[in-house]
Structures are given as structure tokens and as C-alpha cells.
Structure 1
Amino acid sequence: MQVNLTNTKQVESMPPSMLVSATYDNNSKSAVLKFYNPESQKLILWKDETGHKPYCYSRLSPDELDFLQEREDVFEIKTVQKFDLITDKEIDMSKITVADPLAIGGTSGDKSIRNVIETWESDIKYYENYLYDRKLIVGKYYEIVDKKLKPHDLEISDEVKIALKSLLWDKVDSESMVDSEEFKKYITEWADLLNQPIPKIKRLSVDIEVEAEIGRIPDPKIAEKKVTAIGMKGSDGFDQIFVLKTEGTEEGTNELEKDIKITFYELDKEKEMIHDAFKIIKEFPFVVTYNGDEFDLPYLYNRAERLGIKNSENPFYMMRDSATLKEGVHLDLYRTLSNRSFQIYAFSQKYTNFSLNSVSKALLGKEKIDYGLDFDQLSLYQTANYCYNDALLTFELTSFNKDLLMNLLVIIARIGRMPIDDIARMGVSQWIRSLLYYEHRRRNCLIPKREELQRRSEGVLSDAVIKDKKYRGGLVVEPKEGIHFDVVVMDFASLYPSIIKVRNLSYETVRCSHEECKKNIIEQTNHWSCSKRNGLTSM
């Protein structure tokens, strides 16, 4: 994520606030962190003041990279030591520090260094780099004292401590670990982190309706059709719907509850309506939409530009495949709930279709409003009711079951070491990747390239025992045909993670470089696992 910020002031002090997101500011060319303060229910933006800059690594020496020094966007090339987990030794790498992330990658041709030479760690987003290097964890609390950012661990209640003792400390098995003390310390850190309280997050759901045209879906990039309604539902009880009067449309009958405010705008006041909506959106730290990345936010952004609203008054910032807020956090629930990890594990596959109607019906027992009419035939109040109901459904998807979805996003952000808005958009493989990147940086280990890992497995795969399978896989026992009684089912809880932990399986521990470990054979395979260090993934 990257934005253009204009009013990021120096923050001299900040009460304990939860880190929720990070971005890159094009104007100041620095990382910007977004903290949510539970007391004020506002976001505090903190711009990096450490001088951290984008960089990547090369195995070439600084002398061999001297030709890069001619570039104005290259600040420094120096030799640094990194630990190579594959060879289990420290190695010299050249660290190339640049002025802008695009100098590393993201552009075509020789403008990007990774297109010119072979590089390491050049495909990591800059704000992720910043979080890893500063050992910052999204979902954790921090405070600013005398202009310095530092962690703030909130006290865990006695009830939670007792529960942790009975559920974790009394049962945790560290005997199988190579370094049991390291494992116990690691578990302690996780327990403290995951049991930090999660605040109630102030948020606003937004839904828009656009002038209808039979047989054609409005294009958000062009935004040539008028916005006819903007529905907003806030977690603080805020309920507002803006409706643009259209020629020949009846007012109709108000079906909404009395405390829901409806404002009608004259036909020529669309610009004023959108401008007023922007003012409200800026008051909320989180904005929630359903398919807002693809439609609602891009349409509002481009429509505002088309109507002459200044960019400085527009709260949105458009990216290649998503939309965000310059000074807030945007969650697109369509992308969140179409993530199979949420669909299957969080919500037990209660829905199979990802439309707002299907998901709401499955999780909330509520549906979109259907008047049985084409949209251009609705009265003004029917349009208001329809639009507000969509905003309400979107909001309730985050609030049902005691804010379950919001709490899940915070917990997964803590685990995945990613901004909450990235967690809401990305899949489980990217969550795990981010966690592993963080752990590599914490240990000053070089993050291996995909090709390096692939080369390690060439010619050493276990023979498959099932026809047409690439790997050996698990043991499959042929069943005996017939009817059987008194059948007992046995199942291992978390079978694969348990095997990984007990066998110390990780990319750097399987077939490690230590001669003395080659006798530590994994049964029924031609592989061995390391007996000298804990593997990253086995922790």
C-alpha cells in the first residue's frame, strides 16, 4: 500500500494504542504507521523518523556493483553479514539501499534493480520490510514517549493467567524440541501476544447506488453515471442515508425507522452529496464495504474527480487491485468472506455463494430487499431503504456474535504480522509467508529464494507409493469390504503440525548440512532432520 499524505504531523506522545496498519507515503518517502486509540476511537498516524530506507541484497561484492553507484536513486552499497540457514553459516551480502521502493522493483526495464541483477528480498513490500525490521507486530499495543515509539504490553487478567496455566503450561510438550528453552520462550511470547485485549473498533459501513442503465453495469473507472444514494451505518449508532432526487421519481413512503436520518439532495446537488459523505467517512477510522475494492470506493473516487472535488478532500486512494483510505483503514468484506479460510474454518462453510445476499442469509438470517421492480422504478424512499439495508447487512457481518469477524482479523494480523487490511484481502499462504519473513528478519537470517528451495529438493524426493502421485504421502490401508460393527474412530488432533513439531521439520532442518545429523533418519524416508537447532516452522 502507498498513499499521498499531506498533513502527517510529528507525534511527540501517544497513549497506548493498537497498531492496525502500515503504508508508504509517496510525499515524504517514508513508512507511515496507523495506530488505533481505544479511548479516542481515532487513528493516529506516525511517520517514520529513523531514516529507514528501502533496500535489497546481492551476492555480488560492492566492487562488482560499482556501476549502480552512478544512479541517483542508489544511496549506499555496503557489505553486511547475514545468516544463511541452508548452509548454517554466516555469509557476506551486499546491501543496496535506495531512495524509493520502485528503484528496487515494480517498474519495467532497468529502472528496477531486480531487473538488472540477481537480488534477494527484493519482492517484499516496503511497509512490510519496515514492520519486520522494526520488529513491529500489527495488533500489538504501542505508545510514543518523548517522540520515541515503544511497545506497551497491557496487563493480562488473573483469570486468563490461570487458564493459560491449565491449558498451556501444564500440557505443553517441549521434550521433543532440540532446544526446549527456546521453544518455551517462544510459546510465552505467543501467549502474551494473543491474550492482549482487543478493543471495540469504531467503523462505518458504506454502500452506494448508481443511476441504472438497462443491460449495462456502471464502470467505476469512468464513473459517468450519477450516484443516486449513499448508505452509511456506524458502530456508534450513526445511521445516515443520502438520496439524490431524480427526474420523474416519486418520493414514496418512508419505511425506515425514525432514528435513521434521510437527507434528500436536489438533482443538481450530487457533488454536494458526495462531498458531505466524504466528511462523514473521514470521521471514522475504519470503513467497511462489500466489494468496495472493485466498485463502491473506485466509483466514488472517480465520480468525485469527475465532478471537480479536490483530491485533498477525497479520503480515498486507489491502488492497482484495491482501494484504501489515505488516513484510515478499508476492509472489503467480499474479499474477506470469499477467502476459504474464513468460509470453511471460521464459518463452517455455511455459505457457498459469496454474494452479499447469500452470505448475509447464511450468517445473519437476513437478506437484501427485493421490491420486484427494476432499480429505476423504485421510489426515493425505496431507494433509501434498499441502500441502507445493504450498508446495514455489511455492518452486521462485522458485528454479529460479539464482533467475531473484527476480532478474528486482529488475531490473524497478530499471527501473520500483516496490516489488518492486508489480512482481510489475502489468503492463508500469504499470512504464513509474512510470519516466516518476520522470523527470518528477527534472527538476521537471509530469506531464501524460491529457486534455492527448489534446488534443494532436486533428486531427493521420496518415492511415491501411490500411482500417479508425485510424493510418497501417507500410508493408506486397503479397507475390507462388508458391514462392520463396533467400529472405533481414531484421529490425531492437528496431525501435520504435530509431525512437523515432533520431527523438527523445516526447509533448513530437513537434510541439513551437518554430517552428524545424517544418522537422525526420518523413518521410511531417505531424509534426515537436524538435531542441532529448532526449525523455524517447527516452532
Structure 2
Amino acid sequence: MEEEEERFRESEEEEEIQVTLVGETPSNSPPSMLLSVIYDGKSGKALAKLYDFVNDKIYFWYDNTGHRSYLLTDIPPREIIAKHKEIIGHKGFSHMEVVKKFDPLELKEKTFTKIYAKDPLSIGGRGNSIRERLQRTWEAKIKYHLSYMFDRGLVPGMFYRVENGRLVQVETAIPDEILKQGQLIYKDDKEFLAAFNEWLPLFQTPVPDLKRVAIDIEVFTPEENKIPNPKEAPYEIIAIGLAGSDGLRRVLVLRRKDMGLNDGDLNQFMSNDVEVMFFDSERELLKEFFKEMLMYPIVITFNGDNFDFTYIYNRALKLGFQKEEIPIVLTMNGEAKYILGIHIDLYKFFNSRAIETYAFNGKYKGGEKSLDIIASSLLGISKVAREKPISEMNYVELVNYNFRDALLTLHLTTYNNNLVMKLIVLMARISKTPIDDLVRSQVSAWIRNMLYFEHRRRGWLIPNKEDIQRAKGTTSTKAIIKGKKYLGAIVIDPVPGVFPNVQVLDFASLYPSIIKRWNLSYETVRCPEKEQEVNKPYPDMDHWVCMDRRGMTALLVGLLRDMRVQVYKRLAKTEQNPVLRDYYNVIQAALKVFINASYGVFGAEIFPLYCPPLAELVTALGRLSITSTLVRAMELGLSPIYGDTDSLFIFNPDKAKMEELINWVRDNLGIDIELDKTYRIIAMSSRKKNYAGILSDGSLDIKGLLGKKRNTPDFAKMAFNDVLKLFAKIESINDVQAVTGMIQEKVKEYYAKLKNKELPLNMLMIKVALSKGIEDYTANKPQHVKAALQLAPYGYKIGPGDIIFYVKTKTKEGVKPVQLARIDEIDVDKYVEYLESSLEQVLDALDIPFESIIGSKLF
């Protein structure tokens, strides 16, 4: 699994949230969307938050089934009573019972003792919890609200109604033509067909336009680039921007003594169609904000957990608000919960590598995931440029700056017909994860919840990771990449050069297809029934697979793969109704996220169902598939020039031969392969995963280039962009020489400006934020810290969160803060290295050695 898989690690304990602001709790309610489930410590019950979008109401439904937190152990009740009196005498102990569960590792039913507790923290989370007093337990580390949902079969994002106090799911009508598609796909497989029909309501249930408000705050900061500590909330909140999906455009502004207000200001506010409300006290401003906030079931922020909501909460306490007056709760996990509805933090959602890669095709890949970068990449709109500190802005500047951030945050959820909100809801349904949990966790947690839900539905024991490792063993191959446990995907060495008319064949969902075809799942790989009906899919490995029972992962991943490729991807192209067509496209995008991440989690040690032999088999069969296809392509007389994981690049192919190859792969490997894209021209370097091409529609397709690397000086980014613009001028193979010459001249131009020190310092500066206090850097001091230390004698107060702007110099420290530097001090050689590292890969693709460019210039 990718190394970023759990940047936002989850606590395994349930936190008690005290609900003080109450939604309506009816005995009967109309159909309402289940937004989230939490554990309410005040009532000691699970609490479901339901949104009736027709009547615009939030309903609270408290569990009335008597459900309690529990764990499983293999110690019989009599032995617990006789030898574990500390369990029976535990103040949180409720009762116990004997249950039967199917053990997927031993493939047989076993008997367990189910120990119930009065509250989740009595099961686990404290030093004296029941879990800590037993040597072997199962299912004791699942958060209670998730365990509750799995047991009740509740699916976030789906519609429920309250009938005589009971929570009942609303049925979804399924079009006959889609039901018939399932019957055609699975005409000979009743198990897959049953699963297909069971999953259809998750996708066919519409996602309504959910009412929401995006907020952004501005805080008085006495020092430029100083980000106030939200836990301390030392300074005044001077503005709160609110942008609502219902048309709300409002900024709450704190009137300040040093700021005048004239009619010209008011006229400008009105022309921007933003309502401005002034307050003489910060307390009144926050009081109005809480009132506005409570009108919405969903509040959207960008980094609200780490800043906006945390700052508001702590500032409100400082101003004398009682906790029960604040509709925000801060958890020990660093999350800011919205009591009445849900809080969606888009920063964490867009920082998910799976979302970035599979849902948005890397459109904002590389660099910091800031609001400005993501909004610019997806919306084509940037933040308002800030030319002075927030505290020095007049009212006009402050309102414009503040409201734009709130509006951008809202637009990230409304653009392209509410694509992001629909994507979030659909993925909550697939993963069985509350919406506010989903945006704060990574893909491994989503897949874990999906699989746990299925275990509970089937009555299976959820095994511990240690149990799987003992039962399945380790891997057979040696990894090439440091940190990996097994040999990964294959990348076929490219043929360097510039090629016209290159077509790319793409294996449709290669790894999910392999998982389905070979019945790969943690319980079927190296199963205990080795002497019965098994298969050795990869002869060189001592791994076998049970074939007499359908693997859970094979079923779920295979099903989602089929639903995307054979149903919704096709409907997204053929549906005549534009609204439905857009919705089907969102469905296939949501499915793409899951099926592309489904293999990797089993090879990630942090995943609770970690199974290295399973992940190893998937990559081995992937390597076998692409090498077999490569050999067959050459046998047919085709000319492959590159292969990467699940794609094959073929130069100037014959159409009939390509069709023959596609049919051979489908018939012999059981995998669909299709024409993915055609390059008008492509420049392949000798490096793997490094090429630059122009597609048939004239758009650029760049792989592996570093020009947008984080902390790259602006001049290097500009040089990179200028070179790409020139590369885009290539229309045919005949243009390559002329464009290559123009690129060389452009690079010479930047090199000359560096050598002659003609570039301004702001083009050369590097920006890095301090992650901790300067005094905490004791041993090796990074360059930005060295620069920050030079500012201290000049009265600068620097702390965590401050952005340090510095340049590379030939001075003793090797760096200087930009405020103190002179252009004649810069280390030209270091900046030439930046220029080279930013351009070397695109130059390499065109066979232009960087040394040949700078060596031809005399200085």
C-alpha cells in the first residue's frame, strides 16, 4: 500500500460525545438520509442523524433496541466466572452469552463467549477495560458506532424513516433494464447475481441536493505570516464568511476602532452581492454565527478540524460561552464535530491519495494540497491575492478576501452538478462509513468497513491481524522497492526516442479482474483445505487458493469491478438524460476509487486484514498478464515500445492486429483490455515512468516530471511551464528538431538570467512552514530553521506554523531569509541545480542533455 495510506491515523477507541443541541426526535418521520451515527455519552446510546431534505429538518433517532458494546472471547462462560472474577466484577460489565460464528481462517463454525458492557470504554480504551484483562479477544477494537451500524445493517447515505419509533430503510425502485443487465452478466452465477441485486439500491438511490454552508474565518494577527495557535485562540476573530448552497452570501465582520466605514465601502459590498453584518463585540459575532450555522445540516470547511472550528470553539470558551451553547465538539482525535448535523473537512478529503489519483485523475497532483491549488486546478478560480497582512486590510479587502475563501470551499462541492458531494455520499454507501468519518479517513479504513460490514452480515468472525499472519504465512518473492514486502508490478523498459502514432492498450481494472478470476481473498489463499479443490495460480510460488467456495474479497471486488465496467461506465456514455448521465459518471468514479485500492490494502501492514500472500499473488499474476500480452503482441508483428503495470504502448499498430491481440487477452487471460488513448506524438526517455506526449486531441500528457515539486522556487516552475508550452507546438515528427531548438534556447535564457543574477529574489525564494518551535530543533537544523534563526535579532517572533521565506546563498549558513538577503549573495550553482532537476526529465525525453545547453554558453 502507498506510504501515505494512514496520514490521518484513526484511534481504535470510541469517544463519548455529549449531545447538548438536540434535533427533533419523532416517533414517525418521512424518508430522511442517514448522515451519520455517533455514540452519545449522555444517553449511553447510539444516535443516528437523519436529514429530511424535503422539509429541511434534522431528526435524531436514539437506539431503542438495547444494543450494547461487546467483544468475543474463546473462554467459556463458566471459566470466566470461575477464573476471571475481575470481568464479572468490572463496573462496566453487563452480561454475556454463547454465540456461534463462522471462522474464515479455519473455514468452520466455532463457539465464542460474547461479553457485553454498559459503555464502549468499558470494553476498551481504559487501562482497566475488559479487553485488557483477557489474553485473547476478537472484535474488541472496532469503534462502537461502527460496530452498531454493522450489526444493524445501517448504510450511511441511504434513506430511512422512523415508523412507530423503529428505524426502517426506505426501498428503492430499480429500473428493469438495469436488473436485466445483471441477469445477462451473471446468467450462470446465482451468487454474483444475488449480490448484484443487493448492491443496486446503493447506486440507484438518488443523491439529493443537500443543504450546506461553507465557512471560513479570519483572525487578527499582529505579525505577518504568523498563524495563531487554534488551541490557544489568543486573538480576535475579525470576520466569518458564509457561503450557502441556498444562496446565502454573508460575511460577519467585527467593527474595529482603527477602521473607518464609509458609503463607498458599503456600495462596493452591495455590488459584490455579499451581505455584510457588523458587530461591536466578538461575542455577538459568534452568537450570530452559531445561529446561522444551526440552519444547515452540513457545514463545510477547508482544514476546519485543524483551524477554523477548533479556533472558534476555544475562542468562544474564552469569551464566556458555556459548552452547551457551542454547536461544536472537539474530540481527542483532533476532529471538530458539528453536534446538530455533520462537519465535512474538505482538506482531509482532497488529501486522500486515492481521491487525488482515482477520482480526479491527478489534476491537483504534486505540491501542497492548499485551497488555492485545489480550487485553481478543479475550478479554474484562485483565492484573492493577499498583498498585505489580514490585520492591515480595510473592510472591503477583508470581506472580499474572506468571502472568496468560503465561496471556493462551497464551489468545490457544487461544481459539475454537485460532483464532490455525490461522490462523498456514494463512497459512504459503498464503504458503510458515516459521511463525516469518511472524509477524515483513508481508503484502507473505507475498505475495512466494507469488509467488516460483510463479515457481520454473514455471521463471520472478524479475525485479528495476528491470526491471519499465523494462518497464511509470509511472502515468496523479494521486493525491489525499499520498504515493500514482496515483488510488485512490472515496468517494461522503454524504447527511447520520439514516436508518432502510439496507441496505448489498457487492462481494464487489471488487479480487480485478477482477484475475481482467481478467487483471491484472505480466507481462500493458503486455505486449510489444501488437499481438496485448490488451484496454484502462479506455479513458482507455494501459494494455493480454495476454489470450492467464493472468496469474500473476490465477490465484493469482482462485483464492484463488473458494476463499474459493464454497467455504469457504459451508462455514463449512452444515457440520453444529461442528469442521469452525470450521475452514472459519478457512480463509476466512486467505484473506481474502491476497485483500484482494493488490492493494495492487503499488502499494507496497517490494514487489519493484512495478508501478504494475497497481495503477492495479485502482483505476480499482474506481471504474468502483461508479459504474456507483450510476447503475444510481438508474435503478431506489433511493436511495443513500453509497458507500465497495466498498460502497453504500441508504435504505429495495424488495426486488425490490435483487435486480434485484444481478443486473445480476453479469451486466454480472462481479462478485458481496451484502447485507452492515442498519442499524436510521444517522446520516451530511457527512464521508466517518464515520457511526454501530445494526445490525438492536442492535449499534453506528461508522466513523471518534477516541475511542480513542493518548495521549488518560482523561477524553476516558470521555466518548466515555458518548456511545456514549447513542447506543445509539436504537430508532427517534422517539428521535433525545430521545437527542440526553441526549448534549448529557452533553457539557455533562464540559465543566463541566473548566472547574471537578473532574477528578483522573490522568484528565487523557497517557502517552508515551521512544524514546531525553533527551540525544538536541537541537532540537525533544516535550512528554513537556519534562516528563521537569523530573523530573531531583528524583532521577529517566530513559532510553529510560521512560513519562512529564504534563499540559497554563499554565506556561512548557506541560506538567508529573503528579508535580509541581497541578490549578489545567492548561490548560483544551487539554483542551476534547481533548474536542472525541474527540467531534466522532459529534456531527457527529448534527448537533450542539460550539460550540452549550459556548456554551449560562454560566461
Q: What is the TM-score with the length of structure 1 in the denominator?
A: 0.92
| 2:141 corresponds to | 123
| 1:102 corresponds to | 121
Higher relative contact order (CA 8 A, sep 6+): 1
| 1:347 CA drift (Å) | 1.7
| 1:262 corresponds to | 276
Instruction: Determine whether 1:197 maps to 2:197.
Output: no
Q: Per the alignment, do residues 187 and 273 of structure 1 end up closer, same or farther by CA in structure 2, a change over 3 Å counting?
A: same
Residue identity opposite 2:329 in structure 1:
Y
| 2:711 corresponds to | none
- Stretch of structure 1 that moved more, 478-487 or 322-331: 478-487
Q: Per the alignment, do residues 489 and 35 of structure 1 end up closer, same or farther by CA in structure 2, a change over 3 Å counting?
A: same
| 1:182 corresponds to | 191
Q: Per the alignment, do residues 519 and 388 of structure 1 end up closer, same or farther by CA in structure 2, a change over 3 Å counting?
A: closer
Q: Per the alignment, do residues 478 and 270 of structure 1 end up closer, same or farther by CA in structure 2, a change over 3 Å counting?
A: closer
| 2:685 corresponds to | none
| 2:420 corresponds to | 405
Q: Per the alignment, do residues 467 and 131 of structure 1 end up closer, same or farther by CA in structure 2, a change over 3 Å counting?
A: closer
Match for 2:546 among 530, 533, 539?
530
Instruction: Determine whether 1:328 maps to 2:341.
Output: yes
Q: Is the 8 A contact 2:533 2:547 kept in 1?
A: no
| 1:484 CA drift (Å) | 8.6
- Structure 2 SS opposite 1:136: coil
Residue identity opposite 1:381 in structure 2:
V
Q: Per the alignment, do residues 231 and 116 of structure 1 end up closer, same or farther by CA in structure 2, a change over 3 Å counting?
A: same
| 1:164 CA drift (Å) | 6.0
Q: Per the alignment, do residues 409 and 467 of structure 1 end up closer, same or farther by CA in structure 2, a change over 3 Å counting?
A: closer
Residue identity opposite 1:128 in structure 2:
L
Instruction: Determine whether 1:450 maps to 2:465.
Output: yes
Deviations 1:388-440 (A, max 9, x none): 11111110111000000000001000100000111111111110000000000
Indicate the structure with greater helix content.
Answer: 2
Q: Per the alignment, do residues 42 and 17 of structure 1 end up closer, same or farther by CA in structure 2, a change over 3 Å counting?
A: same
| 1:43 CA drift (Å) | 1.9
| 1:83 corresponds to | 102
Q: Is the 8 A contact 1:368 1:386 kept in 2?
A: yes
Q: Per the alignment, do residues 531 and 270 of structure 1 end up closer, same or farther by CA in structure 2, a change over 3 Å counting?
A: same
Match for 1:93 among 92, 96, 112?
112
Q: Per the alignment, do residues 242 and 148 of structure 1 end up closer, same or farther by CA in structure 2, a change over 3 Å counting?
A: same
Instruction: Determine whether 1:242 maps to 2:252.
Output: yes
| 1:196 CA drift (Å) | 0.7
Give distance in 2, aligned partners of 1:396 and 1:472: 42
Give distance in 2, aligned partners of 1:37 and 1:298: 28
Match for 2:379 among 364, 367, 372?
364
Residue identity opposite 2:247 in structure 1:
G
Residue identity opposite 2:136 in structure 1:
E
Residue identity opposite 2:342 in structure 1:
V
Give distance in 1, aligned partners of 2:154 and 2:421: 20
Give distance in 2, aligned partners of 1:404 and 1:498: 27
Instruction: Determine whether 1:223 maps to 2:233.
Output: yes
Give distance in 2, aligned partners of 1:481 and 1:132: 53
- Structure 2 SS opposite 1:64: helix
> How is 1:347-426 mapped onto 2 (pairs within 5 angstroms)?
347-351=360-364, 352=366, 353-426=368-441
Q: Per the alignment, do residues 343 and 164 of structure 1 end up closer, same or farther by CA in structure 2, a change over 3 Å counting?
A: farther
Q: Per the alignment, do residues 115 and 386 of structure 1 end up closer, same or farther by CA in structure 2, a change over 3 Å counting?
A: farther
| 1:479 CA drift (Å) | 7.1
Give distance in 2, aligned partners of 1:482 and 1:361: 34
Q: Is the 8 A contact 1:8 1:47 kept in 2?
A: no
Give distance in 2, aligned partners of 1:337 and 1:509: 35
Deviations 1:276-330 (A, max 9, x none): 1101101100000011001111111111111111222211111121101111100
Residue identity opposite 2:69 in structure 1:
P
Give distance in 2, aligned partners of 1:272 and 1:418: 37
- Stretch of structure 1 that moved more, 392-401 or 511-520: 511-520
Deviations 1:482-515 (A, max 9, x none): 9999876443211111111111110111122224
- Stretch of structure 1 that moved more, 283-292 or 490-499: 490-499
Give distance in 2, aligned partners of 1:431 and 1:115: 30
Q: Is the 8 A contact 2:23 2:58 kept in 1?
A: no
Residue identity opposite 1:232 in structure 2:
L
Deviations 1:109-134 (A, max 9, x none): 22352365332111111100110000
Q: Is the 8 A contact 1:174 1:183 kept in 2?
A: no
Q: Is the 8 A contact 2:179 2:197 kept in 1?
A: no
- Structure 1 SS opposite 2:405: helix
Q: Is the 8 A contact 2:383 2:405 kept in 1?
A: yes
Residue identity opposite 1:118 in structure 2:
R
Residue identity opposite 2:54 in structure 1:
E
- Stretch of structure 1 that moved more, 191-200 or 400-409: 191-200
> How is 1:8-23 mapped onto 2 (pairs within 5 angstroms)?
10-23=25-38
Give distance in 2, aligned partners of 1:162 and 1:467: 47
Give distance in 2, aligned partners of 1:100 and 1:91: 26
- Stretch of structure 1 that moved more, 431-440 or 144-153: 144-153
Q: Per the alignment, do residues 304 and 531 of structure 1 end up closer, same or farther by CA in structure 2, a change over 3 Å counting?
A: same
Q: Per the alignment, do residues 512 and 278 of structure 1 end up closer, same or farther by CA in structure 2, a change over 3 Å counting?
A: same
| 1:273 corresponds to | 285
Deviations 1:209-232 (A, max 9, x none): 111121532111111211111111
- Structure 2 SS opposite 1:78: strand
Residue identity opposite 1:139 in structure 2:
G
Deviations 1:62-99 (A, max 9, x none): 23323200112100122211110111111111111001
| 1:521 CA drift (Å) | 2.3
| 1:57 CA drift (Å) | 1.0
| 1:148 CA drift (Å) | 1.4
Q: Is the 8 A contact 1:275 1:309 kept in 2?
A: no
- Structure 2 SS opposite 1:537: helix
Give distance in 2, aligned partners of 1:284 and 1:313: 17
- Stretch of structure 1 that moved more, 208-217 or 436-445: 208-217
Residue identity opposite 2:231 in structure 1:
K
Give distance in 2, aligned partners of 1:239 and 1:476: 51
Instruction: Determine whether 1:438 maps to 2:447.
Output: no
- Structure 1 SS opposite 2:205: coil
Q: Is the 8 A contact 1:518 1:528 kept in 2?
A: no
Q: Is the 8 A contact 2:32 2:50 kept in 1?
A: yes
- Stretch of structure 1 that moved more, 423-432 or 63-72: 63-72
- Structure 1 SS opposite 2:427: helix
Q: Per the alignment, do residues 487 and 311 of structure 1 end up closer, same or farther by CA in structure 2, a change over 3 Å counting?
A: closer
Give distance in 2, aligned partners of 1:510 and 1:140: 34
Instruction: Determine whether 1:290 maps to 2:306.
Output: no
| 2:325 corresponds to | 313
Q: Per the alignment, do residues 363 and 227 of structure 1 end up closer, same or farther by CA in structure 2, a change over 3 Å counting?
A: same
Q: Is the 8 A contact 1:517 1:529 kept in 2?
A: no
Q: Per the alignment, do residues 504 and 260 of structure 1 end up closer, same or farther by CA in structure 2, a change over 3 Å counting?
A: same
| 1:340 corresponds to | 353
Unaligned runs of 5+ in 1: none
Q: Is the 8 A contact 2:104 2:460 kept in 1?
A: yes
- Stretch of structure 1 that moved more, 519-528 or 393-402: 519-528
Residue identity opposite 2:170 in structure 1:
H
Q: Per the alignment, do residues 379 and 494 of structure 1 end up closer, same or farther by CA in structure 2, a change over 3 Å counting?
A: same
Residue identity opposite 1:186 in structure 2:
A
Q: Is the 8 A contact 1:114 1:122 kept in 2?
A: no
Instruction: Determine whether 1:139 maps to 2:148.
Output: no
Q: Is the 8 A contact 2:304 2:336 kept in 1?
A: yes
| 1:145 CA drift (Å) | 1.3
Deviations 1:329-381 (A, max 9, x none): 00001111111122122222222331111111111111111241122211123
Q: Is the 8 A contact 2:153 2:457 kept in 1?
A: yes
| 1:475 CA drift (Å) | 6.4
Give distance in 1, aligned partners of 2:167 and 2:544: 44
